[in-house]
Amino acid sequence: MRWEKGRDAHIDYRHCPCRGFGRRDGAGFGLAVLRAGSGDAAGLRPGPGSQLILKCDKPGKHKVFAVIVTNTNLAAPMSDDQFESYPVTIRMDENSPWDDNWRFNDKFAMAVDQGNTRSLTRLLEKLDDASKMEVRLKPLKRSPTIIEFDVAGAADAIGKVYASCKDESPVG
C-alpha cells in the first residue's frame, strides 16, 4: 500500500504476498493481507479505479480505519490530513440501507472510530457476515458515486488487521 501526497492510496496486488479472498475470476476482486508500513492492511478491489481498504497505520486503540478509494473527485483537493464530512448510504446484501457520515478527501472516503465518531464500528458490525456491500458516496455539489463490493469472508481480514494493530475488533 502506498500513500503519496496528491496520489491514490492503494495496495499493489501484483507484488504482494496475497491470499485470495472473495475472488471471482474475471471480475477483478481480490483481497490482500500484507505488511504495509507499520501496520497490516486488507483490501478489496471490485475493478479498475475503486478499492476498499481496511488499514492500521500504527498499533494502538482506534487506529484502524476503512477507506474507499475512487478514481473520481469526491471533494475539493486538499492535503492528506484534511477532510470534509459527507453522507454515505451503505447496504449489505438485501438488508435495508443505512446512512452515515464519513470523512472525504478528493480521492477517498474514510470510516473511523475516533473521538465520538464510530462510523467504522457501524460498518464492520454489518460487514462481518455480509456477502455483498453497496456504498453510495454523496459528496456535496458532486454526483453520487455508487460502488459494489463482494465482501464474503471479510471477518478473517478484519480480525487480522485488528490483531496486527494490537486493538480489539468491534466484531469479536
Let me know if residue 25 belongs to a domain: no
Let me know if residue 19 belongs to a domain: no
Highest average pLDDT, of 9-13, 54-58, 78-82, 89-93, comes from: 89-93
What global pTM score does this model have? 0.77
Contact 13, 31 (CB under 8 A): no
Residue 104's nearest CA partner among 128, 136, 131 is 136
Q: Which grid coordinates are listed for 170?
A: 468491534
Q: What is the mean pLDDT of residues 125-132?
A: 90
Give pLDDT tens digits for 149-172. Answer: 888 878 888 888 888 889 999 987
- Domain coverage including residue 50: 31-164
Let me know if residue 14 belongs to a domain: no
More confident: 23 or 76: 76
Helices 119-127 + 154-164 axis angle, to 10: 140
Let me know if residue 10 belongs to a domain: no
Let me know if residue 1 belongs to a domain: no
Let me know if residue 119 belongs to a domain: yes
Number of domains in the chain: 1
* pLDDT for position 2: 38
Highest average pLDDT, of 2-11, 32-41, 96-105, comes from: 96-105
More confident: 26 or 136: 136
Residue 104's nearest CA partner among 89, 119, 82 is 82
**Residue 58: pLDDT band by 50, 70, 90 thresholds?**
confident
Contact 50, 11 (CB under 8 A): no
Flag the least confident range among 7-11, 44-48, 86-90, 157-161: 7-11
**Residue 10: pLDDT band by 50, 70, 90 thresholds?**
very low
CA distance 130 to 98: 14
Q: Would you call 97 helix, strand, or coil by DSSP? A: coil
Contact 21, 31 (CB under 8 A): yes
Let me know if residue 89 belongs to a domain: yes
Average pLDDT, the chain: 76
Backbone angles phi, psi at 35, to 5 degrees: -80, 120
Let me know if residue 11 belongs to a domain: no
Q: What is the mean pLDDT of residues 48-70?
A: 85
